[in-house]
Structure 1
Amino acid sequence: MYKLCRTVHNWLGLILAIQITLWFASGLVMAWLPIEDVRGAHLRHTFQANWQHATQSPQSVLASHSADATLALSQRLIVNEDKPRAIPVYTVSEAISGNGAQQNTTVRYNAVNGTILAPLSETQIQKAANVQYAGTGTLSEIDFISTLPQEVQQLPSPIWQVQFNDTENTRLYIDPNTGSVLRVRTDTWRLFDFMWMLHIMDYEDRSDFNHPLLIGFSAGALLFTLTGIVLLWQRFRPRKRSGLNRF
């Protein structure tokens, strides 16, 4: 049995050596990086709408829509003369039938005065990005993108991508409807994400840790550990002394 354990242990060691090293190295890097720096919390200002300022009721807003319309609470960041403020917003969604087909529509209302809000322009997004950015760089590029990069692939599209020329290569991803920053991505986050990819062995989406490759290597690592314990026990277990050597 011990011979079999030694053979299995040796072969597993050869197969798993690189991945076990990557597990330890990636785990060390992820533990070393402060999670708030990874999330970019130090690079953004946040603004919250005060719903006590709302004078319009949901019923008054829904009165001009069908009975199937749904209402949700939201907000919008407004920047006038470099003075940012978040206003409360009602978002009404409904399906409208026409030409034999249904089309989903969304209308946003200012909850303070009841006016319909137009989509945010590029200039408004640029102002919103500048007031929410807390770093030392300056805005260098702004794009309205429909095809999302891997670093924000889980967000709905289209979305605004705003690049700042700081040492962290900061990108803000801004909601086109609210003007709020949804994600902050920096080189620190990208390093963490790369290490996470190595750790969970998902080299495409970097989000699936239930795939066969990870399960197989994890099972192999467990077997490697167990056979190692058996071999250690064989080497260090107490030995019975013969009767002639007792005295």
Structure 2
Amino acid sequence: MKRYLYLWHRWLGIGLCLLLALWFFSGVVMLYVGYPKLTPAEHLARLPPLSAQGCCVDLGAALQAAQREQAPSSIRLSSLAGRPHYLLGYRDAGSVAVDARTGQRVVPNLELLVASAEQFDPAPAQYLGSVWEDAWSHSRALDHERPLHRIQLQDRDARLLYLSGQTGAVVRVATGDERLWNWVGAWLHWLYPLRGGVLDGAWGWLVTSLAFAASLMCLAGILVGLLRWRFAKPYRSGARTPYKGIARWHHLLGLVFGSLALTWVVSGWLSMNPWRLFEHPQALSSAAYQGGPLLPEAFALGTGEALARFNSDGFVPREIEWRRIGGQGYLLARDGAGAVRLLDGDGRLHRRLEPQALARAASAMWPAGTLQVDTLETYDAYYYGRAEHSMLGHLDKPLPALRLRFDDPASTWLHLDPRSGALIEQLDERRRVYRWLFNLLHSWDWLPLLERRPLWDGLLISASLGGLLLSLSGTWLGWRRLRPRKPSARRRAASRQ
């Protein structure tokens, strides 16, 4: 049995140690440079203020111009090329832009795309053509905007803009530094070289399989390391390990960092949600919280009236979103700094909604059970923010927030933003387990460390360097075993006889 354990570790290591080294190195890069994205703050800061003058056709006319049978899943009034436009999102049919002044549906052309880029940044620009997907646009969140048009800005940060082929809006930004570092960061860490080619359809399966095999390699290595270490009586040489040279260092590094390597690889494997482990079959539907489709009759005030009402209160919106909460229609406005105001059907402005009203709306998701409502004034283990460049750092986690606990079969928790009524996240019992198995073990998302960034950085980098040295030493040993060996002097003499 021991022999098979040694052989499994040896040959899995020969095949995977270099991959593990790349994972450790790219993981350190990702601590400081994330995959390109357009953050909500950057998006709002680049929009001009919405003006009530000459605006706008009513919502019903905009929906009619979209020529879609289904109700939209999202409705926003934003600016394209310096003009107000309705941006309508549909779950199964992409996005649509309608000029809010003329009521005409917009089909992006080169003139609109260049003007939209100039709205984002007036720097000189070069149109690079369209792509369906490339190295910096693999995110599934962009699927409803494809194909994507690329425009290169000649600014200080060498920004590459991605614009929606459906609406012409800027949907992703990749700076020159982000593109440079991501070649050895997220692009490498997530094995994106396998995306976009003949292996594209098998990317998820390949990543999952490689991570699972690497987990077996690490586990076998830990067992081999413990079996070969003399805890009681040293070897004849006086050492506790039988190995010499690089093999000795690999043994020692494995004893110290092997468990860390195993937890990182296993948690990375779990991030791919193998066998849908973290999807609960009885998850609650968020549609009940909304309480009805986004149709014009749900909103009493017209767009022009709403803009005038916001302006009269001294609030200058840059974007307005139509949403329903418990069946009631609200218009949510955001200014350039990210501040929000809610306008109800009676024309009243709200800085935040009452917790009881939000709880009543959410109770429709599980009307047969009981509901516990808590107000979060500080972050805790399940609700916390991350740095903007991190994988989930663009998600707004405001305080205070509401936590609603249901007694449904999935033991669901909801986090709600009382400022906007937004359903921030839904955590059932499986997602809470995922929080520990991935977010804690892989990213070390533990508040006492996250609140002490120099300590968090130092520990993660030190552990990553240990894992990198462990992987590189294994790579060296694998290469040495595979390389052609020169015959010994005794064998050369025997062959001449």
Q: TM-score, normalised by structure 1?
A: 0.71
Asked whether the equivalents of residues 61 and 114 of structure 1 are also in contact (C-alpha less than 8 Å), the reply is yes
What CA distance in whole angstroms lies between the structure 2 residues aligned with 1:202 and 1:107? 32
Asked whether the equivalents of residues 170 and 187 of structure 1 are also in contact (C-alpha less than 8 Å), the reply is yes
Change (3 A) 1:161 1:122: same
Q: TM-score, normalised by structure 2?
A: 0.39
1:46-195 matches, cutoff 5 A: 46=287, 47=290, 49-50=294-295, 54-57=301-304, 59-66=307-314, 69-71=315-317, 72-75=319-322, 77-79=324-326, 84-90=327-333, 108-110=342-344, 114-117=347-350, 120-131=353-364, 133=365, 138-154=369-385, 155-195=397-437
What CA distance in whole angstroms lies between the structure 1 residues aligned with 2:330 and 2:279? 28
Asked whether the equivalents of residues 253 and 466 of structure 2 are also in contact (C-alpha less than 8 Å), the reply is yes
* Identical counterparts, % of pairs: 20
**RMSD between superposed Cα atoms in Å:** 3.8
Change (3 A) 1:244 1:214: same
Structure 1 or 2: more strand by fraction: 1
Q: Partner residue of 1:221?
A: 467
Q: Does 1:245 align with 2:492?
A: no
Asked whether the equivalents of residues 51 and 88 of structure 1 are also in contact (C-alpha less than 8 Å), the reply is no
Structure 1 portions without partners, runs of 5+: 95-104
Pairwise CA distance, 1:242: 0.2
Q: Partner residue of 1:102?
A: none
What CA distance in whole angstroms lies between the structure 2 residues aligned with 1:120 and 1:239? 78
Asked whether the equivalents of residues 159 and 176 of structure 1 are also in contact (C-alpha less than 8 Å), the reply is yes
Pairwise CA distance, 1:24: 2.8
Change (3 A) 1:152 1:206: farther
What CA distance in whole angstroms lies between the structure 2 residues aligned with 1:118 and 1:227? 58
Change (3 A) 1:123 1:136: closer
Asked whether the equivalents of residues 173 and 184 of structure 1 are also in contact (C-alpha less than 8 Å), the reply is yes
Q: Secondary structure of 2:312's match?
A: coil
What CA distance in whole angstroms lies between the structure 1 residues aligned with 2:252 and 2:264? 19
Cα deviation code 1:154-190 (max 9, x no counterpart) = 2212222211012332111122244332111122112
What CA distance in whole angstroms lies between the structure 1 residues aligned with 2:254 and 2:493? 40
2:257 pairs with 4, 16, 29, which one?
16
Q: Partner residue of 1:99?
A: none
Q: Secondary structure of 2:320's match?
A: strand
What CA distance in whole angstroms lies between the structure 2 residues aligned with 1:139 and 1:13? 50
Structure 2 portions without partners, runs of 5+: 1-242, 386-396
What CA distance in whole angstroms lies between the structure 2 residues aligned with 1:118 and 1:56? 19
Question: How many residue pairs are counted as aligned between the two chains?
Answer: 225
What CA distance in whole angstroms lies between the structure 2 residues aligned with 1:70 and 1:36? 42
